[in-house]
Chain A
Amino acid sequence: MPNDIIFSAKNVSKIFGMGKKAKVAVDDVSFEIKDGEIVTIVGGSGCGKSVLAKIMLGLYPPTTGEFLYCGKKITNLKAHWNEVQFVFQDPFSCFNQFFTIRSQLEDSLNILKNKPSRAEVKARVDAGLLAVNVKPSDIEDKYAFELSGGQMQRMLLARIFALRPRVLIADEPTSMVDACVRANILDYLMKLKQELHMTVVFVTHDIGLANYVSDRIFIMHEGKLVNVGTPAEVLDNTTEPHTLKLLDDIPEVHNAEWIKHS
């Protein structure tokens, strides 16, 4: 296997439960994600995006099929997460309520193999905060319950920007922030990607974002990948019905037909 393949999935399925109650969350997917690529996974609620993301993190071993990271099975999670970092979908459950945000951000750098110095930790966390439009002094002594939903989500990204991982899996990382903050986050992410040659997998409902950042888009429906390719291949003049439906339902300003309301 060429070593520029970060993830490779061969006929991967993930089934929850058994017998009658079995739920096929991911259904026989095969793909490769190359080093330095940005891939976005788009699809309706419950189609299996988060489960697929968790397979990439090594949290769910596939029920059938083979899933490899850099040509090897994921066995040691701690070693895996040293290189592959993540932003989970629900920011409310990601921070401990009993420690300040700042101390949790600084602590998360402890997982790095080459532990940065005290001063560097501080500098990296500050830079991460600025990249998500937050003044470091504004969260100095704050706890998670003192932040708004969108601010908490931005803390998860600040953590990533401080960690500077090789691979990032981000599940709906900007669903709660406004367009200006999203633009700033994407700006910083692109810079970081250039600098570190980072590989990024986004899971998102935001097709505008997928269109702008992706090298390739995976459209998912009921556990299957139904449309895969560059943004132009997947979005322009597509005839794939699930993609068409999603495109049709975006509330773009010029789409006068979006909803009929008198």
Chain B
Amino acid sequence: MSEKIFEVDHLSLHYLTRFGEKVHAVTDVSFSMKQGEILGIAGESGCGKSTLVSGLMGMCIPPLYPTSGDVRVSGESLMNRSESDIRSNVLAQKISMIPQGAFNALNPVRKIKDIAADVIAAHQKQGSPSSAKEIYQRLCERFDLFGMDTQRVLNSYPIQLTAGERQRSVIGISTLLNPRMVIADEPTSALDVSTQKEVIKMIFDLLEKGIFSTMIFITHELPLLYHVADNIAIMYAGEFVEMGTAEQVVKDPRHPYTQALMGAMLSSESSQRSRKPVAIEGAPPSLNQTIVGCRFAERCTRACPDCKKNTQSIRMVGDRLVRCDYAK
């Protein structure tokens, strides 16, 4: 039996605004991952994906606060620990993140090799300081392994690199300490399709070489997730509304929101040229108040009066989890 490397129990997170109001950005998220699994998370922009990532790393930095629930990596809880504890004992070693908008993550006035040294120094376990030379050597070996033009890339400023080289450098740096788990937040959304494919290939290469084994991949692009992930969770207004295998969620979605996402796809095929993507009007509910009933009900074409009254709980429908009392 394979061990659960990552467990999330009923995690809820909120922002405290300047007016002392709570914005409940993530509500009651639960899932667990086995060693070697790739979980994809997709959902509406603003549904709480990046906020969830902060929570999953134990990095709740004000104005973000944990409301309730637990996150464990190989049994070790990440909740209610200090930022410096998480930084020096968890990040980059156990969990590493590839951030949304990686371009902005690279300091424009430092060379790639210096950026890497900064990152490693910040996350080095206390008592095991390696010299700048050792770090540099390790960096070279790793970049060689990816088949990068190592010397040129390491000695360049971010602006001198192509978008693909920049993104691959970010991935190379954030996986240098062999974290067990990687969380990638929209790592390819800013890239063209060819560069995107290049970056995904590199990620699979790292998996194959055993540099890390387990990954959460976040994107708003479901077709991409279909190719990348084993399992997919769909998020709406802070909640998981459907979770199953990539095949189930993309090819046979059961939650009305997942179905709407698939109906809104665009394709480059001539047969799809004049097919109008189905838009859903309206907006998700405001997250600063208590929400009664299904969060999607207001925009759901199949909603009935009960949906607006009854809060939906997530349940098994056709071998996957769905948060809709009427899904079949």
Contacts and interface: CB of A to CB of B under 8 A. Distances in A.
A98 interface: no
Interface string A142-169: 0000111111011000000000000000
B236 to A, nearest CB: 10
A208 B162 contact: no
Contacts of A141: 19
A49 B100 CA distance: 22
A150 B266 contact: no
Interface string A225-252: 0000001100110000000011101111
Given A236-B270, A247-B268, A253 B226 contact: yes
A45 B191 CA distance: 7
A213 to B, nearest CB: 9
B145 interface: no
A181 B273 contact: no
Chain A CB within 10 A, most for which of B189, B260, B268, B275: B268
Interface string A174-204: 0111111111101100000000000000000
B277 A212 contact: yes
A154 B250 CA distance: 25
Contacts of A130: 281, 283
Contact of B273 (A43, A175, A211): A211
B207 to A, nearest CB: 8
A65 interface: no
B209 interface: no
Nearest to A247: B268
B283 A133 contact: yes
Interface in B198-218: 200-201, 204
B129 interface: no
A149 B50 contact: yes
Contacts of B134: none
B101 interface: yes
A183 B223 contact: no
Given A208-B267, A211-B266, A259 B194 contact: no
A44 B45 contact: no
A259 B204 contact: yes
Contact of B278 (A178, A183, A245, A259): A183
A5 interface: no
Interface residues of B, number: 61
B122 interface: no
Contact of B50 (A148, A178, A212, A231): A148
A261 interface: yes
Contacts of A186: 277, 279
B264 A45 contact: no
Question: Size class of A's contact patch?
Answer: 35 or more
Contacts of B204: 259, 261
A254 to B, nearest CB: 9
Contacts of B267: 208, 211, 252
Contacts of A182: 264, 266, 277
B46 A46 contact: no
Nearest to A182: B264
Nearest to B17: A146
Given A182-B264, A207-B268, A135 B283 contact: yes
A187 B43 contact: no
B226 A177 contact: no
Interface of B: 15, 17, 19, 42-46, 49-50, 100-101, 104, 162-164, 186, 189-197, 200-201, 204, 220-224, 226-228, 250-251, 260-262, 264-270, 272-273, 275, 277-284, 286
Given A46-B162, A176-B186, A183-B280, 19 more contacts: A45-B164, A46-B163, A133-B281, A133-B283, A148-B49, A175-B189, A179-B264, A182-B264, A183-B279, A211-B266, A211-B267, A212-B273, A231-B273, A232-B270, A250-B268, A251-B227, A253-B223, A259-B204, A261-B227
15 contacts: A45-B164, A130-B283, A133-B283, A133-B284, A146-B15, A148-B45, A177-B220, A178-B44, A179-B262, A179-B264, A181-B45, A211-B269, A231-B270, A232-B270, A235-B268
